Every structure is written in structure tokens, then in C-alpha cells.
Amino acid sequence: MNYIVIDLEWNQPIHTNVGNSESKNYEKSRICKDMQFEIIEIGAVKLNENFQEIGRFNRLVKPSLYKKMNPIISEITGIRENEFHKEGKFKTVIRNFLDWCGEDYIICTFGNRDIHELEINMHYHKCEIPWKFPLKYIDIQKIFGIENNEPNEQRSLEMVSIYMGVEQKKVYHRALSDAVYTAEIMKKMNRENFEKYQSLDYINLPKTKKEEVEINLGNHMECLSRGFDSKEEVINYKDIYITRCPVCLKKCRKKIRWFADINKYLCVARCENHGLMEGILYIKNNYNGYYALRKTFQIDDEKYKVIADRKNLLREKRKIKRNK
Ligand SMILES: [Zn+2]
């Protein structure tokens, strides 16, 4: 199996950088909700299973939606509007890219944005997405955080590559050079962790109830529901509230029932053999519908107390609000 280390540059409508509200409203009407970020460059490095480089892919993509370059994006990447005139459009470039990828590979990216935006762009352009559920990929930024005991930090590519002692001979924020930096970082990392701490893509959803399995991602379990037409249907779907032990997969009893926090729900459950687990539930939507994502982590007593305190604090806040 090969590793396809990918990096993208994208353009976005100009309104996000414009200060005064009048022009903001004007530009806002031009944002397309189905594709807020349009890919303008795809860069990738192909590594074989011994992490030797066996190929490179580097193409600009002629934009079809946001044809005017956002000046900030131009500034960061150095990409100018007049560079696109002889470039292929997304559909052509992505077809070339997927052909170049070959058959047996896993995608590697720095962070979780690229694969997400790639699929959004593919969907917008009505390209057939060749990846079926579950699509696992390797997020180097996440694994770097786990290896360095800071799982919630998102360090920049530049910081990580300097920290890992990668030779600094290319500019950042161009697709190929960022892919090369990511590949060089990978060569210096503990390879077992690429197998152990993979990430699950959330745009590809299970098609059936049977596909809604718990997937072990090294330090936690994840379960995705299939897509539903409305948020209410997801909330009423009882299976999303089950917590299973990440170790033995048995259903666990709740110690703290599900409660709503900002943008998510939390619970604590206990496995007789493996102790306390934190459940985190998100309800989201994408072009495949509304879905639930549940993550389960093994936790210690200290974390249990933090969650219990959080629940009490939110309850008190609600009480004060009601009395007002
Ligand atoms: Zn267990």
C-alpha cells in the first residue's frame, strides 16, 4: 500500500476580508453555500510502504466559481489570477489526480481540512467520489499532537517541520511544497502510529444501519450514524445514545446521563472491566444529510469529576436564566 500525502490551496470569496458592512453584504450574496472554498491547487507526494518517494503531483486548478482571487489568499500563496488561463478545470485535474493515486493507497494530510474540502469540491462538481465508507485517512497534525502529549493542540506545519528537523528549503503555503514537508515529517515519525491513530472521514456516511459500527481509532472509538433528512430524526434515533466500552465493546451503564453542552452532548459511562468512559456526541449535517458522530474515550476519575462539575455548572446557569 502507498501513502498519498496531499495538500490543497483554495480560494474563497472576498467578503471575509472586507471591513465595512456595506461591501460585506454585497459580497456575501456571492458565497455559494455548497462550496465555500474552491480548490485552486493540488499537490501530492506518493510514498511506498518503506516511505520512499515514488512520485509527485502538482497542478493548478482553474477556478469556475470564485474567479477573482482573494487578495489575502494571493498574498499567502503567491498564486495570481493570470496563472490560471492555461490550466485545467477541477473535473479534469481531479480525474488526473485520482488516476495518479493508483489503486491501493491511504491518504495522508496535515490537519483534517483538506480531505473535507476535497470531497465538498468533488460533490459540487458532480465528480464520482471513489471512496466508500469507512474512509480512513492519516492526519499527521493529529498524530504529532498525540505523540507529543498535547492531543488538543493544532501546531502549524512550519512549526512541526522545524521541530522535527526537516530541512527548510521551500516556501510554505504552496500545495506541493506543503505536501513535501508533510511527507518529510512522516519519515521522521513513529510509523506504528500511522496504523494505530487513523482518522475517520465524516462526509462519507454509513449507507445502512448495519454499517454503523464502532471504529477503533487508537485512543478512542468513533461511531457515525447514517444520514437522515432532518435533525429531529437524528435526535430521535435511539442507537446514537448507546455507549460501548472502547476495549471490549460491551454496552456500558451511564454514570452521568447525556447532557447538552455547547455544540455537543456529553455523558460518562462505566464498563465493569475497563472503567470510566466519556461519550461525546455531535449532531451535524453535510450534503449526505443530518448525522450523529459519537466518540468514546477511556477516562480517569479526575476527568470524570471535570465532566460532573461541567454538568452542574450548566444546570445552575439554566436555573439562573429561568429565574430571570
Ligand atoms: Zn470493557
For residue 219, the CA-to-ligand 1 centroid distance in Å is 14
Q: What is the pLDDT of residues 219-245, one digit of tens each?
A: 899 999 999 999 999 999 999 999 999
Residue 88, classed as helix, strand or coil, is coil
For residue 272, the CA-to-ligand 1 centroid distance in Å is 7
What is the rounded CA–CA span in Å between residue 263 and residue 2?
A: 37
Give residue 136's pLDDT: 97
For residue 257, the CA-to-ligand 1 centroid distance in Å is 18
Q: Bridge-partner residues for 137, per DSSP?
A: 199
Residue from 8, 36, 14, 37 nearest 26 by CA? 14
Cell 469556475 found at: 64
Whether omega before 130 lies within 30 degrees of 0, making that bond cis, reads: no
Helix H or strand E encompassing 56: strand 53-60
The sheet with strand 253-261 has its strands ordered as 215-216, 221-224, 289-298, 275-286, 264-271, 253-261
What is the rounded CA–CA span in Å between residue 234 and residue 237?
A: 5
Cell of 159: 512549526
For residue 273, the CA-to-ligand 1 centroid distance in Å is 5
Label residue 131 exposed, middle or buried (CB < 10 Å: 0-12, 13-18, 19+). middle
Cell of 261: 453542552
Give residue 246's pLDDT: 84
Give residue 83's pLDDT: 93
Give residue 206's pLDDT: 96
For residue 241, the CA-to-ligand 1 centroid distance in Å is 17
Walk along the chain (324 residues) in steps of 10 and give the mean pLDDT of each run.
Answer: 98 66 51 93 98 98 93 94 93 98 97 96 96 95 96 95 95 97 98 96 95 92 96 96 90 95 97 96 96 96 97 94 88
For residue 248, the CA-to-ligand 1 centroid distance in Å is 4
Give me the domains of the chain, ranges plus CATH numbers.
Answer: 2-196 (3.30.420.10), 208-323 (3.30.530)
Give residue 152's pLDDT: 87
Give residue 16's pLDDT: 52
